[in-house]
Structure 1
Amino acid sequence: MSNDSATRISRRLFLGTAAATLAAPALAQTSGTTEMEGIAGSAVRRNMSSFRTLQWQPYFDNLKNGAILVDLTSRALHFWSEDQTIYRLYPTSVPLSEDLTRRGRTSVVLKDPRPSWRPTPAMKQRNPEWPDFIGPGPDNPLGTRALHLSWTYYRIHGTHDTRKIGRRSSNGCVGLFNEHIEELYEMAKVGTQVLLI
């Protein structure tokens, strides 16, 4: 094999390995180990430089009922279980603009296994052509699961439009890949603490 051929193969191997590593959307940290799980689209790859694990202590006094931290800048959602055995890190979509963004402390008040969608009055005003209601299913903007927050109209939910993840693309909510919201839905409880920063 010539030196040029070896260089091309090594370069391909390096690029292939790097692409596979950057494509992983969720970090799972269990018992002190970190494993990359799943495959994400290019939207997440653009945001990987700020996608890092965090400790819960700077953000919460305790982990009663578990805790969710949404970092709007890095477009990442962190979940810690109450007993500290589970930590998850997921890429998210975040609000399009600052005027749609809400920060602060809230909590999960309802777990919706089959969300239906209605535009808020402000959304309808901006987009009068939007339908008044979409029931559960593949056309639903809330995806397969939703966690309702104590703030009116705010949700952490799935999305069928995977291009939105890793971007400023929502009307105020925090969006996850459907497989990630389904996992989070099982771990979160009514009463789980939520902090958006």
Structure 2
Amino acid sequence: MPRPTLARRITAVLLATLMLLVSAGFTWAVADDYVERDTVPAGVRIGEVALGSLNADEARAVIDAQVAAPLLEPVTVSLPGTETALTLDPKEMLTVDIDGMVSDAVQPKRDASLAQRVYRRLSGEPVDYEVKTLLAVDEGALGAWVDGAAAESDRPAIDSTLTVGEGTLTVQPDVSGYRTRKADAVASLAAALKAGEKENELVSDEITPTVTDDGWGKTILVDKSQRRLWLYNGATLERTYRVAIGTPGYPTPEGWWKVINKRRNPSWSNPAPNGWGASMPAYIAPGPGNPLGTRALDLNAAGIRFHGTNKRWSVGTAASHGCMRMLREDIEALFEVVPVGTRVIIVP
């Protein structure tokens, strides 16, 4: 049998050496891969938090400190229409799955082949992988919290009111009411908890008052004791005039009334032909002799009105049969700024 040539012997040695090196390299790769099995690949992140090259315990500590801890900080929930705010403690209703996120962080390594894992480890090539933030909201506990918040927040609307003083009107402001929309409030707060938002407002419907501050419009206030009227727009005094009121036998009626008709150059029809008007004609046409003067504002109190007079001296006294007489220039000015429907309040 011929002896192998030197070249053949050298080739055999080289092949054996190569096989030994490959076997050793493979053995090293498998051993190294096993040692690094719980190390997070470079490039893995949760939002802005990098986890690459951390082992499981290190990744768990980073997720706890930089992801879970901020999510579990208190949330400020403001109540609508007030400066009141409540504190919601996420620890009572939010679960952060740190172990699940650590497991997800090493998923790219599990999905890669041994060769890919070795290559990435040797080359330092990062993966592009974002770990999902694993959270669970206990909506039952959150709903119970919303119920408690609603008990503090919900309230009926309060109508504006008009208070009468001596020659004054005061408008008490209206106050909106609020009613919590529980399902929407729970959904909004659950989303805020998952997003890490620390400020939120309780989701509610605003209830508008029936009577609002700007709904009062014009009001004429008559104080019989002062023989004077005041015209207000809301709570703003616009003008004031002297008036004559009814005599004790024919008192001007007190209460809340309204203007139902406006007459320019009115005629006069005798309201009591069988009583105090027995000596007067049944009808007086517009003109200088008309007892109503040049303007009349009829009220929904029977036979009662603001009007001018041909007896100027009587203004400021108790001289009429219940109506409120005014100087010609005053009633003509009032006539122009008072619409039908204007509220009239007459007090003693």
Displacement of 1:171 in angstroms is: 0.5
Secondary structure of 2:169's match? coil
**CA drift at 1:127:** 3.8
Deviations 1:82-113 (A, max 9, x none): 583x5111011000115433100000001111
> Partner of 2:200 in structure 1?
none
Aligned residue runs from structure 1 range 92-107, under 5 A: 92-97=243-248, 99-107=250-258
The answer (yes or no) to whether the contact 2:167–2:223 under 8 Å persists in 1 is no
Larger Rg, first or second structure (1 or 2): 2
> Could you say which residue in structure 2 is the equivalent of 1:68?
220
Preserved contact between residue 65 and residue 191 of structure 1 (Cα < 8 Å): no
- Counterpart in 2 of 1:11? none
Match of 2:314 among 140, 164, 168: 164
The corresponding residue for 2:300 is: 150
Query: Does 2:201 align with 1:88?
Result: no
In the other structure, the counterpart of 2:230 is: 78
One-letter code aligned to 1:97: P
* Count of residues paired in the alignment: 142
Is 1:116 matched with 2:267? Answer: yes
Partner residue of 1:194?
344
Residues 45-74 of structure 1: CA deviation (Å, up to 9, x unaligned): xxxxxxxx8432179x86633000111111
- Alignment-derived partner of residue 169 in structure 2: 56
Matched residue type, 2:266: P
Tell me, in whole angstroms, the C-alpha distance in 2 between the residues paired with 1:57 and 1:171. 30
RMSD: 2.3
Q: Is the 8 Å Cα contact of residues 105 and 194 (structure 1) preserved in structure 2?
A: yes
C-alpha spacing 1:99/1:83, structure 2 compared with 1 (3 Å): closer
Looking at structure 1, the residues matched to 324 and 224 of structure 2 have their Cα atoms a distance apart, in angstroms, of: 9
SS of match in other structure, 2:294:
coil
| % identity of equivalent residues | 32
Per the TM alignment, residue 114 of structure 1 is displaced from its structure 2 partner at its CA by: 1.6
Q: In the superposition, relative to structure 1, how do residues 54 and 151 fare at CA in structure 2: closer, same or farther (>3 Å)?
A: closer
CA contact (8 A) 2:222 2:346 kept: yes
- Paired AA for residue 169 in structure 2: W
TM-score (norm 2): 0.38
Q: What is the identity, as a one-letter code, of the residue corresponding to 2:327?
A: F
Task: Identify which of structures 1 and 2 has the higher relative contact order when contacts are C-alpha pairs closer than 8 Å and 6+ apart.
Answer: 1
| Most deviating of 151-160 and 98-107 | 98-107
Q: Are 2:280 and 1:130 equivalent residues in the alignment?
A: yes
> Structure 1 counterpart of 2:308, which letter?
G
Query: What's the TM-score once normalised by structure 1's chain length?
Result: 0.66
Q: Which amino acid aligns with 2:314?
A: K
Q: Supply the AA of the counterpart residue of 2:268.
A: W
Code of the aligned partner of 1:96: T
Q: Hey, which bits of structure 1, 4+ residues long, moved more than 6 A?
A: none
Contact 1:93 1:164 (8 Å CA) reproduced: yes
